[in-house]
């Protein structure tokens, strides 16, 4: 890995803090990625490399297509999102750009939730 590189783990959906029945393997793999993020952050810090994870909440992605295509279920779901809308992938992109910038040089070994307070409900 090149010195000063910024590895990033983007975890689909925030399953570290919220889980669903029948998703044990999915949820446990996300927890493993967080442990890997922390370990790599410690191992690479001396080289000036930061390692962080991004855990998105409810975003309008292919993973949610069945829900997005059902107007009734979509409306029910969106009504439970604190800001009243799905997240936009561009919002994750802006966070990733920050983490790749020199401005985030003191941010390492953490999981940043971009989830509109989803697990706080």
Active-site residues, by number, are: 26
The phi, psi pair for 9, rounded to 5°, reads: -105, 120
Cα(113)–Cα(89) distance, rounded to whole angstroms?
14
CB 37 within 8 A of CB 30: no
Report DSSP letters for 64-114, one per residue: GHHHHT-HHHHHHHHHTSTTSS-B-HHHHHHHHHHHTSGGGTT--S-EEEE
Cα(54)–Cα(56) distance, rounded to whole angstroms?
6
Length of the chain: 121
């Amino acid at each position: 890995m090149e010195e000063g590189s910024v590895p990033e783990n983007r975890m689909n959906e925030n399953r570290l803090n919220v889980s669903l029945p029948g998703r044990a393997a999915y949820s446990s793999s996300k927890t493993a990625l967080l442990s890997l993020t922390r370990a790599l952050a410690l191992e690479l810090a001396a080289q000036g490399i930061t390692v962080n994870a991004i855990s998105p909440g409810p975003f309008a992605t292919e993973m949610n297509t069945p829900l997005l295509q059902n107007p009734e279920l979509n409306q029910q779901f969106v009504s439970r999102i604190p800001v009243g809308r799905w997240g936009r992938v561009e919002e994750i992109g802006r966070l990733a750009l920050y983490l790749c910038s020199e401005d985030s040089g003191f941010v390492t070994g953490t999981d940043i939730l971009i989830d509109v307070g989803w697990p706080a409900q």
